[in-house]
Amino acid sequence: MGIFQIVGEEEIKSGQSTDIYFIRTEDILTIEDKNPAVTVEITASSLCNDWGVFCGLSDALNLLEGLDIDVYAIPEGSVFYPGEPVMRISGNYRDFARYETALLGMICHASGIASSAALIKICAGDVPVYSFGSRRQHPAIAGMIERSAWIGGVEGVSNTSAPAGIPLAGTMPHAYVMCFDKPADAWNAFMRHAPPEVSRTMLCDTYCDEKREALSAARAGAASVRLDTPRSRKGDMRSIIEEVRWELDVNGFTDVGIFLSGGLTAEDVLEYRDIVDSFGVGGAIANAPVVDFSLDIIEIEGLPVSKRGKKSGVKEIYEFEDGEHLLLPAGAVPPEGAKPMLKNFIRKGQILSLPDMNKSRARLLAYLEKSA
């Protein structure tokens, strides 16, 4: 490790970042000359919601590239349900055993973020949502957080380490406003000097009552006003937003929008979407609960097996046009009108294709639209 307590790419890629029991397992199996041909599946027995969004496949494939294995997975951005295998790996067990820790970490975290972002997008309806939460996690994974949020459907992200092609969005911090003698000076400077493509969204709750600062910002030319601390006043957030909207409207600023941020949850987004024009969501996306995936052997030397609580044998997920899923044993007669979801992504260690994050995002949005 360097000056920061983070694991480097080479250590991850070589399988050195793993749980110690995998090293001991590998050593003992080597001594005993055991390296059975196995097939494993990755599933989640339960989810925070009724469904999840599969994400993190790109990292997973890059991790597993070069190992003598075959990998099947559902496409990134696909919706999955409890018990459905999102990934299947076939090979000799010792050849990939130590990679389980990193593999699960990659898809558990990324899928949790994408799933939460998707839920919040559903709650928001047509109101734009932006990912503002990368500061709630270690900067080493900022790119993964923003990529996962993007696949989950947000309209933009705040962190400059986001993968190229994801729109960057942000307003201004309270500290910026406080560097000026008064908020109006900060807003006027922003109007003059911010790049022309940047929305003139002014933070309007630094010192004074929100509606007073919002009116002042509107007079300075704001396209929208951002409210970030209404919850800290222990007041009725909806009443505060309604007051701001009323005063803007009666003073002729009906075209000035309201951008809401500050500790928002999915429930908040659902509650305020009728009176808010944009949401900035932080921890509810970046700190989302991980998807509790597990990796289990379901076939040894071609014979179906399973540990307690799991279903043996290779399986296939079939998806119907309306988005419904059906899980069947591999080799069963496919149901009419449904397509198999698991695709071959690695053959004998060679990556056949890598996910495109924009196509992954489009896949999810299309599914959510037809399932609405």
**With contact defined as beta carbons under 8 Å apart, do 139 and 161 qualify?**
yes
Range of lowest pLDDT (134-138, 190-194, 276-280): 134-138
**With contact defined as beta carbons under 8 Å apart, do 63 and 106 qualify?**
yes
- Mean pLDDT of the 311-329 span: 95
Q: Look at residues 262, 287, 312 and tell me which one is the last residue of a structural domain.
A: 287
Pairing mode, if any, of strands 257-261 and 278-281? Answer: parallel
pLDDT digits (tens, 9 = 90+) for 270-318: 999 999 999 999 999 999 999 999 999 999 999 999 999 999 999 999 9
Number of domains within the chain = 2
What domain range includes position 62?
9-113+289-371
- 206 shares a domain with 71: no
Residue-level pLDDT at 2: 82
- 307 shares a domain with 213: no
pLDDT digits (tens, 9 = 90+) for 203-245: 998 888 888 999 999 999 999 999 986 555 556 888 889 999 9
- 97 shares a domain with 169: no
Q: Look at residues 267, 287, 307 and tell me which one is the last residue of a structural domain.
A: 287
**CATH number, residue 220:** 3.20.20.70
Predicted confidence band at 269 (pLDDT cuts at 50, 70, 90)? Answer: very high
Residue-level pLDDT at 237: 86
Residue-level pLDDT at 277: 97
**With contact defined as beta carbons under 8 Å apart, do 236 and 206 qualify?**
no
**CATH number, residue 81:** 3.20.140.10
In a domain, 4, yes or no: no
pLDDT digits (tens, 9 = 90+) for 89-121: 999 999 999 999 999 999 999 999 999 999 999
Q: How far is CA 266 from CA 35, 89, 125, 277, 286, in A?
A: 47, 35, 12, 16, 13
Round to whole Å and give the CA distance between 219 and 221: 5
Q: What is the mean pLDDT of the chain?
A: 95
Q: Look at residues 226, 253, 287 and tell me which one is the last residue of a structural domain.
A: 287
pLDDT digits (tens, 9 = 90+) for 1-55: 689 999 999 999 999 999 999 999 999 999 999 999 999 999 999 998 899 999 9
In a domain, 60, yes or no: yes
